[in-house]
Amino acid sequence: MTDNRLTTLLAGRPAIIDGGYGWLLQERGLPPGEVAELWNAENPAAIEALHEEYAAAGARILTTNTFGGTRPRLAMSGLEARAYDLNKAGAEIARRVADRHDILVAGDIGPTGELMAPLGTMAEDEAIALFSEQIRALVDGGADLILIETMSDLAESRAAIAAAKAVAAELPIVATMSFDTNLRTMMGVTPTAAVHALAEAGADAVGANCGRGPEEMIRIAAELMAARGADDSVLLVAQSNAGLPQVQGDAFAYTVDPPAMGAHAQELREAGIDLIGACCGSSPEHIRAIATALN
């Protein structure tokens, strides 16, 4: 494999990313309707405990609890003025755990929730400014790399990558998109188009996260590999949901258990995927099964 900035940073660590956060925090008491990022300031012990569980399970890259940390997302709860502080606090919590385990922190960035022009009103420079504020806080809190995930619009992904390159030019960038049953994002982007566009924009690793489950992610992985071809200077990433939630009694439960997720991780590695983790519905036990399968 051709080295890039991320493989150099990993320095031989298994390329295993952690799993879900939002749904687990709700299971652990996050009040309905309250943004998870608020717990970075008001219940940091709960965030640190979950990071610690993922690290102990075998994750070598911890994801900060900052997925919804841009101003527009925080504004939905009246927290936009706290964007910098909540993101920095999220990175600092992950940093403490990562230092105890000699692993890495990925500063996590999700969509702003706004549509980019011409479909919406958000201009490219506005998006870059929003992402830059978040990335600056994540870097100040100790992030080792920037993770841009669950995107559906290439324009928004490019804006986030541009912000990362401007604010933290020395840090590797991982960029993933979320594909549906038609192997398209909500905006119609294919895995092939994502590989080409995100690599050209400057991402060190590209791929897919979220979705409907392992079976679909294997199909996506095949397209990612075909798009990359023989040029392995860009790494490929896959983080599947643990299936889809189904009603069981008075609660929702996801359908893919840890052993099945471990078997899925082996399939992804055999398909050529470089960085493997999990997404919604997954837990430290899913990551433990992935680590066991891959190690």
Task: Extract the annotated binding site.
Answer: 210, 279-280
- Tracing tokens 């409907």 back to the chain, one arrives at 212
Nearby residues of 209 by Cβ (< 8 Å), 6 or more positions away: 149, 150, 176, 177, 178, 237, 238, 239, 240, 277, 279
**118 cis-preceded (ω within 30 degrees of 0):** yes
Question: Distance between CA atoms of 295 and 42, rounded to whole angstroms?
Answer: 36
Give the annotated binding-site residues for Zn(2+): 210, 279-280
For residue 236, what are its two tokens?
A: 């490929």
For residue 172, what are its two tokens?
A: 């590797």
Nearby residues of 108 by Cβ (< 8 Å), 6 or more positions away: 63, 64, 65, 66, 67, 69, 90, 138, 147, 149
- Tracing tokens 């401007």 back to the chain, one arrives at 166
Q: Of 188, 185, 230, give the one whose Cα is nearest residue 208.
A: 185
